[in-house]
Amino acid sequence: MDKQVILNAYETLRDTLETVDVNELKKMYSRKELEALQQEIYNVEIRSLAYEIGEAAKEMKLEEFPELLGVHRYPELKEASFLTEEQQVEMDRFLGDLRPNRHYIHGIHLKLKESHNPEKQAALETFLLEKGIAERRHHVECPHCGDSYLSGAINDEEKGKVEEFLRTKEEALESFFMDTVDSGCDECFYEADDPYRLEKLPFKTRLLLVKQADRTLQNL
Ligand SMILES: [Zn+2]
C-alpha cells in the first residue's frame, strides 16, 4: 500500500473527530447512551500502526548495523576480559540507559546475571573507575542513625580533606569541613560535638556514571 493512502486515512479520521462537539452529544443522548457509546469506542480496536512501523524500522536497522547487538555505547567494555561477552553487552545496555552525572550505578550484580560473585563485581567497579566511565561519590552518614546524610555528594578529593581534618585537626581545613559537613541530623536530632573532638565519620560510597555514551550508531 502506498504510504500516502495510510496518511490520508489517518488524517480523515482526525478531521472527523475534530468536528465532534461533545456538548452537542450531551443534548442528543441520555447519560446511559453516552456511557454505552464510550464503551463502544473503546471496543473498536485500532491497530497501533505507528508502533508496528517503528518496530519494523528497528529490525531493519539491526540488519543494517549488526554492531548494535554488541558493545557499542561504551566500547571500553570489550577490554573487560573478566566478563563474558554476554555480560559485556548487558553492561553496555545498562550503562547506556543511565544519565551521566545524574545516575548512580546500582545493582551491577543483578546485571551480571550470575550468582553472588563479589570478586567480579569489585573488578568491574575498578574497571569502570580506571576507564573514567564512573567516579566515586561519597556522603557523610549520620553516625547515630545512619538514615540520613550530613553532606552532599563529595568526590574522592573532598572526602580526603574531610578525613584529613578529622585526623589532623588542621586549622586550614576547618572552614572546608564546616561548609561540607552538617553539624546536625534531620532524622534523629544528632548534634555533632565540637568538630575538634570528632575523630571519625562514616561514609556512604557509590559509583556515579560520568562518561557520555557513544551514540553514533544509535543516531544514524
Ligand atoms: Zn541521624
Q: SS3 for 203? A: strand
Report the phi/psi class of residue 119: left, alpha or beta, with left for phi > 0 and alpha for psi in -120 to 50: alpha
pLDDT at 192: 78
Please give the grid coordinates belonging to residue 102: 545524574
d(CA 170, ligand 1 centre) in Å: 26
pLDDT at 125: 94
d(CA 138, ligand 1 centre) in Å: 17
d(CA 160, ligand 1 centre) in Å: 22
d(CA 187, ligand 1 centre) in Å: 5
Helix (H) or strand (E) holding 138: strand 134-140
pLDDT at 210: 97
Are 150 and 181 a contacting pair, CB within 8 Å? yes
The DSSP 8-state label assigned to residue 186 in this structure reads T
Which percentage of the chain shows pLDDT scores above 90? 79
Neighbours of 204 (CB within 10 A): 13
d(CA 136, ligand 1 centre) in Å: 23
At residue 196, does pLDDT exceed 90? Answer: no
Rounded distance between C-alpha atoms, residue 79 and residue 95, angstroms: 16
Condensed to tens digits (0 to 9), the pLDDT of residues 52-74 reads: 999 999 999 999 999 999 999 99
d(CA 150, ligand 1 centre) in Å: 8
d(CA 140, ligand 1 centre) in Å: 11
Burial status of residue 128 (CB atoms within 10 A of its CB: 0-12, 13-18, 19 or more): buried
Condensed to tens digits (0 to 9), the pLDDT of residues 99-132 reads: 999 999 988 877 777 777 888 889 999 999 999 9
d(CA 182, ligand 1 centre) in Å: 11
Cβ < 5 A residues, ion ligand 1: 142, 144-145, 148, 185, 187-188, 190
d(CA 183, ligand 1 centre) in Å: 11
Domain ranges of the chain: 142-201
Which percentage of the chain shows pLDDT scores above 70? 100
Condensed to tens digits (0 to 9), the pLDDT of residues 198-216 reads: 888 999 999 999 999 999 9
Report the phi/psi class of residue 80: left, alpha or beta, with left for phi > 0 and alpha for psi in -120 to 50: beta
- What pTM value is reported for the model? 0.75
pLDDT at 126: 95
Are 137 and 205 a contacting pair, CB within 8 Å? yes
pLDDT at 194: 80
d(CA 134, ligand 1 centre) in Å: 29
pLDDT at 215: 92
Are 134 and 74 a contacting pair, CB within 8 Å? no
pLDDT at 219: 86
pLDDT at 18: 97
pLDDT at 34: 98
